[in-house]
Structure 1
């Protein structure tokens, strides 16, 4: 657990439950699509009706033009009647254009609102799931992949509402056109009524390969984004060790896979849309030929033929839009499945209903007994209230698992972890993290004023001054041109590695957590500054439970005792000078 993720938990006691008590264990992609469409039923219904009105008006335009032709050109009745009919149908045209233009404007606005709100709701659910104190959503997923799911995938799912509303509108257009054609000619109307559903069914069949390739495209794109975000976050380190080419090679493989998947999806989309356009053209050609023969045989008038051809041309739009609708639904289904996987991720820890002992600021101890988890193999570790204990892990994996157990990011597979005598598994994870702050050595800083990364509502100004001195962050501030008014860029990119580390340490110390776990807080500072920080931590955390997971001799020298971890177990324990003299494994770990 990083400092940034723990800050809010350690700043104040937990008085309620801010996380979801149940996760979306059974959520499916279909449910998400249904919620995207019907999450705001009134708004969606209004948008659908308005877009259907637009298509209704569009379909009647050719009919009205046919009537104008019959009244004004075919010369039915006397001149006066022809002029009156002409004016009447021109007025009808004007009304139709007014209705369809305004209905489209209002309907499109409401559809955009439905899509954006649906995407927003999904983003909030994803954010809530990722930030859930019980964890699990981030397992096996890089931050970039989660970002891609919460942005592009959520947006695609939201766009499904637009596609569904447009589908209803296009169906309205086809039905109105069919009815109009039935009035012109029964054979033409039947041709549309039979042919249009067949066209839609074929469109659905053709869209299945596109859905599969769209899903693969989004998976590979998310993987590439995750690797890219990971590399960008460590760009300065990569440049410092000259590993730029290694980073390029690492990104090349997922990037190439993403490119290949995108090309395959684009080919599938092109083939799909081309096939739909071809079928649509053939279908409309059949309607036009049939209408022309009926006109030549005298079964329909010139105006009716004009209306039939106009309706046939108009049908090109809804049937062509069906290709877009199919593509949007295919992409939406693929994205909904990916979102559902995140929302349905099982929690790593349970909630628990017990109450912790002591107040939120009381000194409390930590106890691990026979803990087996990951690389830990029967670890016993006790930290008494107010004690400063060092932990030296020869294997970095042991340290990583230990930090996750202490912060209750995971529960042990076997054995017990206790906080103040209470089983951590019986406590809500937020209660544990309100008392235990695990500060990772690579904790990121926030962009903005430097002091906003350090100050909080817990410590007083006097205490914050002591924190700045203890962490040597006061030297950082003094060395910056703008001093305390310095504005940090994203992740503190305008500070050196050592400066960022001291500011992050100051933030962790200023929270004054009852139990503070620091992981290698001085790896990027010089030895003189490290000795000052070690003494500062000792003085500031006097009487407060502190665990220093490190191999730094300067930090270990100020601890009350040190525990050595080898092969996931505690193999030695004692004061730092004694272990250096007596234990070769310890001496090798901290002095080599």
Structure 2
């Protein structure tokens, strides 16, 4: 796999049972690149390890005054140098390729999972956690995956060098062969506390990231209530906690690095002292002593990869665990579908609550609990957070038996907090659609005339409001303007069933009345379900369904339900228990108020 071949046509099905299993799955899925990195690493490290033997032979040839052997060893040194340069260059290229390839695979997997889960993702995993996984965690995972092959090459080289030294000079080789494993494994007792401190640091960093994301997202509201300093202070405290945790983690890793420097130095002192003793006795030659000494010096380089792989695993293990946790999330519905593709038509029915939305009509749903209404809206779209009884039926066909793409084409859910992506207004409205609804019609039905004027005035370069840029999440617009643009985007798609959750909660009553009429006209002949408690929208609905708890308790026209269902009236009019007897005795309802609003609109 080459970098130019990215992205993957199919990133595969990950083993998300645990973090280590996920890392091993990534390693196996780019085995070709790992073997290439291993081969170049062996060439590079073997050439590095061979240098001391060449140097020792060169010194001994000078001592023996052998010009032929000196020329031969000079050629060997040149060959080792060329092998080191070639191996290092190709190893670096292969390692970076493995790193980027692994990171790209994880990012594709996360993007695919996010697309399949939809809004259910952020209900199960915090937004800051998703950001941390898709940015910093991806890099740490890629680091370990690519470092594994380099570590394997370094470990094999150390073993080969120890064996060669034992064969070349048994007396000193045994000392080196006994000392190098101690040097390599001495840091193992320090890894658990270092890993724990690193985990604490990442946990605090994740909380700080989530807090920063929430603060930025709600900055307009925070400024409105004067609470930005309070939240900034919270972020400062969280940031300081991250800093202190990072310092504690760095101290432990500094100790590990110090051990990795100290122990090879002690081993080198022992080899030199023992080697000089043997040389005085005539048991080793000068060249052999130089060879062993140089080998110990050179082998500290591949030994550093033992520390790196320990750090890489310690940092990547929790990252892989978090990534596996996100990738292990599943939809309650069948994402592949057991029925052939094809958008069904007919009534939308929820067996769990008894909600029925007749085909081609505008059905308004009133819930006493707004959160329950949001969950039901997601359920109607085939996006439940978890298994919640039998599937919603569209034309008698269970949504969870449809392929995911077909289900999303059939039913579109706009939640109460829709997100506007940055870009031009034309880009925002460039969504998969039936083609029967034009952008101007959708904008007009959503009453976006003033939004177009505001966008044109705020953009100096765009002559057409459609080319005006929208900032990230539409933060330059008011809540009502964002809501209307999101409604226009949903109307353009023209799905078989459109589910809107509180689509006008941020607009004034006069604009809301016009939106209600525009929505009814544009969606004529299409099934539309609106979750709302607004009398203006309810009065334009063909039928109103009232849910108390998780059960449909009343169905009818808005004005009829006001007179016949006290619980419905209490939700729609925000009536208190003390006000209800007075209203009933006076025989007053909101009908007159509603008519006055419609006349002024």
Q: TM-score range by the shorter chain?
A: 0.7 to 0.9
1:209 match: secondary structure? helix
- Matched-pair contact (CA < 8 Å) for 2:197–2:245: yes
1:348 match: secondary structure? coil
CA distance in 2, matches of 1:41, 1:551: 58
Q: Is 1:165 matched up with 2:139? A: no
Choose which of 511, 517, 533 in structure 1 pairs with 2:493. Answer: 511
- Matched-pair contact (CA < 8 Å) for 2:414–2:501: yes
CA gap of 1:206–1:280, structure 2 versus 1, over 3 A, is farther
CA gap of 1:545–1:122, structure 2 versus 1, over 3 A, is same
Who is 2:36 aligned against? 46
Deviations along 1:66-93, whole A, 9 cap, x unmatched? 2332333x3x24xxx44x4433323322
The Cα shift of 1:462 comes to 6.4
Choose which of 237, 240, 262 in structure 1 pairs with 2:221. Answer: 237
Who is 1:360 aligned against? 343
Pairing 1:544-559 to 2, within 5 Å after superposition: 544-559=526-541
1:132 match: secondary structure? helix
Who is 1:485 aligned against? 467
CA distance in 2, matches of 1:407, 1:459: 18
1:434 match: secondary structure? helix
CA distance in 2, matches of 1:135, 1:451: 24
Deviations along 1:56-75, whole A, 9 cap, x unmatched? 22222222222332333x3x
Structure with greater contact order relative to length (CA < 8 Å, sep ≥ 6): 1
Gaps of 5+ in 2: 1-8, 575-601
Structure 1 range deviating more: 104-113 or 181-190: 181-190
CA distance in 2, matches of 1:354, 1:97: 62
The Cα shift of 1:318 comes to 2.4
Structure 1 range deviating more: 259-268 or 297-306: 259-268
The Cα shift of 1:258 comes to 4.3
Gaps of 5+ in 1: 1-17, 372-378
The Cα shift of 1:110 comes to 0.8
- Matched-pair contact (CA < 8 Å) for 1:501–1:522: yes
2:540 match: secondary structure? coil
Who is 1:422 aligned against? 397
Who is 1:187 aligned against? 171
Who is 1:381 aligned against? 355
CA distance in 1, matches of 2:31, 2:91: 14
CA gap of 1:230–1:349, structure 2 versus 1, over 3 A, is farther
Q: Is 1:214 matched up with 2:204? A: no
Pairing 1:47-126 to 2, within 5 Å after superposition: 47-72=37-62, 74=63, 76-77=64-65, 81-82=66-67, 84-126=68-110
TM-score using structure 1 length = 0.85
Choose which of 435, 439, 449 in structure 1 pairs with 2:424. Answer: 449
- Matched-pair contact (CA < 8 Å) for 2:15–2:25: no
- Matched-pair contact (CA < 8 Å) for 1:367–1:382: yes
Who is 2:447 aligned against? 472
Structure 1 range deviating more: 232-241 or 393-402: 232-241
TM-score using structure 2 length = 0.84
Who is 2:410 aligned against? 435
- Matched-pair contact (CA < 8 Å) for 1:170–1:318: yes
Who is 2:586 aligned against? none
The Cα shift of 1:450 comes to 0.3
The Cα shift of 1:135 comes to 8.2
Q: Is 1:391 matched up with 2:381? A: no
Choose which of 255, 268, 276 in structure 1 pairs with 2:252. Answer: 268
Choose which of 181, 202, 217 in structure 2 pairs with 1:197. Answer: 181
Choose which of 302, 310, 314 in structure 2 pairs with 1:318. Answer: 302
Pairing 1:297-312 to 2, within 5 Å after superposition: 297-312=281-296
CA gap of 1:19–1:438, structure 2 versus 1, over 3 A, is farther
CA gap of 1:87–1:170, structure 2 versus 1, over 3 A, is same
2:525 match: secondary structure? coil
Who is 2:22 aligned against? 32
What is the aligned residue count? 558
The Cα shift of 1:209 comes to 2.9
